[in-house]
Chain A
């Protein structure tokens, strides 16, 4: 198992360096003067311009600039935002829990309902339920989620008034960020001071539910489709017949003997959905004014805050490859044939 993890780790590093190359090149591909791009000011004075070039290391050969960039990354210097002057790392770590909370809830929603729908559709193959679920799954897969978000807001927030339109928590509550996860923070605050913060947890949940559904829609559809086809494939396997010939209950045959094996491709697909989630977070956070990484990046792009764009993308990409790495490891645990492959 240990050597299996090491082998996967060996594949991870080149990918990471490749991404640093892309984010490094990103800034240099922007048309226009590099100082203007980096500092965000129009320095007209040639002397100041030359100073800035030197200060930023832009007068060095390009490969040395890349080495500098890597060195800065290794020592944790991700640069500063041109707008807020805060360090990019600090902004990232402040905003990231909001995105993580949203993404985890979306994935939970997608995984629970996707697996359930896929398994039932496979068992009831050819039934009305099966056709209905697969039709809905293809619709979900085809969904422009930014529009889906607007429609849900229009219906549940504006028309029915069930959920708030935007943000993470009602302004009436003043809750100190402790974990960064609003559900947990609100729950802690409510427990600590029930009179002041009554209903904070419920309010946080109400804020979270629509964005999570919107963000989870495409993963839900993908997981449902994949689960169904994978289940159908495994249900035809000889060992499922063996399990039934043992006199095991249908539930045990489905959930232990079939689902365990059908999960292997589903897990891979779930891992790939993490990328979709991060892309979707950009849209979802924009619609719901959710203060997370996605909205941060879009705002940075519209403000031409290039250090944030550059290293924000690096952080997100690193995150995605890390999650895929973890999925790979889980895959190995779920599938003994892979783990033992030399």
Chain B
């Protein structure tokens, strides 16, 4: 059985009269020790999905799903108290901007030890030793002295390492990394990714990597879900999707990676933006931007159709070119 199973998850914001679906009919499974990439432009619902699962939306969003199960526990019916025993321990999350993700009023050590106290009941010397061990695991130099540093005294890369140390403190079964390198310098980005992958292997965690950068996913992930406007556009194994994208949106994303457009004169871009609350088209959500758009696409929303190697949400998937 999968570690995480999500079936038909929807998240709605706004008033009852004027609802906005940030996530719509999302399916996702993650197995133990697996790296899954979730890719999409900003506003495509990647983060909201994960926040909904962890109960971080704080009553702002309405969550509906057929199934939302982690490690055999039903996250839909679980009490807030029970959920808090899982969140931060078995599922943990690291965020995009490390400079604002740490509380400026407390030392780094305090913020790491807080998790250990809460979930593992560590006290005294054992607590301090474990915090130090974690700081060393995330390769922070001079770890002992940095325990008493305040976040504003650390660089962005260091802060992200601290955030990772906090997230892996209780040996989670699933780590969600929400654009963990986007806010960092290019040289630091590679280091942090390397650290995440090596920790994932040594701790045997599952890792969900949320990113808008397909290149990162190509290097580390086994499976991939491409999201567009709150829906999964395509999902499957990484090598399959990279070799034969079946959704026009995936194809466009791949073409926008420099390494993939060798020989092209200019880097391809997809014009327009992800539709917002008020400008959702009535047909396929990609139809205003899709290069292959047909009449049926403007009239009728496609459903997610299973394929041998995954699933795709398109009336005219790219594998049967002759039907166009």
Contact = CB atoms under 8 A, between A and B. Distances in A.
Q: Do chains A and B touch in the complex (CB under 8 A)?
A: yes
Contact of B101 (A239, A337, A340): A239
A249 B101 CA distance: 18
Interface in A232-258: 237-239, 241-250, 257
A256 to B, nearest CB: 8
A246 B104 contact: no
Contact of B87 (A237, A245, A250, A336): A245
A335 B100 contact: no
Interface residues of A, number: 21
A260 B106 CA distance: 9
Interface stretch (B1-9, B89-97, B294-302): B89-97
A237 B152 contact: no
A91 B58 CA distance: 57
B153 interface: yes
B115 interface: yes
B289 interface: no
Given A238-B97, A340-B150, A247 B105 contact: no
B244 interface: no
Nearest to B115: A246
Nearest to A241: B56
B150 A247 contact: no
B84 A257 contact: no
Given A242-B163, A245-B92, A248-B114, A237 B54 contact: no
A247 B167 CA distance: 11
Interface in A119-152: none
**Which of A246, A248, A250 counts the most B-chain CB atoms under 10 A from its CB?**
A246
Given A238-B101, A239-B101, A260-B105, A245 B54 contact: yes
Given A247-B84, A249-B84, A260-B105, A336 B150 contact: yes
Interface in B55-92: 56, 58, 80, 83-89, 92
B147 to A, nearest CB: 15
A334 interface: yes
Contact of A337 (B54, B88, B119, B152): B152
A335 B105 CA distance: 6
Contacts of A335: 104-105
B118 interface: yes
B314 interface: no
Given A238-B95, A247-B89, A247-B119, A336 B101 contact: no
Contacts of B152: 336-337, 340
Interface of A (DSSP majority class): helix
A247 B101 contact: no
Nearest to A337: B152
A142 to B, nearest CB: 32
A244 to B, nearest CB: 5
**Which of A241, A243, A247, A250 counts the most B-chain CB atoms under 10 A from its CB?**
A247
Given A246-B118, A334-B105, A238 B92 contact: no
A197 interface: no
A261 B102 CA distance: 12
Interface residues of B, number: 31
A21 B56 CA distance: 58
A137 B101 CA distance: 33
B56 to A, nearest CB: 5
A238 B100 contact: yes
B103 A242 contact: yes
Interface string B98-138: 00111111100000001100110000000000000000000
B1 to A, nearest CB: 23
A239 B100 contact: yes
Contacts, number: 73
B312 interface: no
B166 interface: yes
Given A238-B100, A239-B101, A336-B152, A248 B92 contact: no
A14 to B, nearest CB: 30
A245 B105 contact: no
Contacts of B101: 238-239, 241-242
Nearest to A334: B105
Contacts of B86: 247
Contacts of B92: 245-246
B88 to A, nearest CB: 3
Interface in B127-186: 150, 152-153, 163, 166
A254 to B, nearest CB: 11
Given A242-B163, A340-B150, A247 B56 contact: no
A336 B106 CA distance: 8
A336 B105 contact: yes
A336 B148 CA distance: 12
Interface string A316-342: 000000000000000000111100100
B84 A248 contact: yes
Given A247-B87, A247-B118, A334-B105, A241 B95 contact: yes
A243 B119 contact: no
Nearest to B88: A247
Nearest to B169: A246
Nearest to B54: A245
B95 A242 contact: yes
Contacts of A249: 84
Contacts of A340: 150, 152-153
Contacts of A244: 56, 58, 87
Given A238-B97, A340-B152, A246 B114 contact: yes
24 contacts: A239-B100, A239-B101, A239-B102, A239-B103, A242-B102, A242-B103, A242-B163, A245-B88, A245-B92, A245-B93, A245-B95, A246-B88, A246-B114, A247-B83, A247-B119, A260-B103, A260-B105, A260-B106, A336-B105, A336-B150, A336-B152, A337-B104, A337-B152, A340-B152
Given A247-B84, A247-B119, 9 more contacts: A242-B101, A242-B166, A248-B88, A257-B103, A261-B104, A335-B104, A335-B105, A336-B105, A337-B150
Q: Which 4 A-B pairs have the closest CB atoms?
A: A247-B88, A246-B88, A238-B100, A247-B87
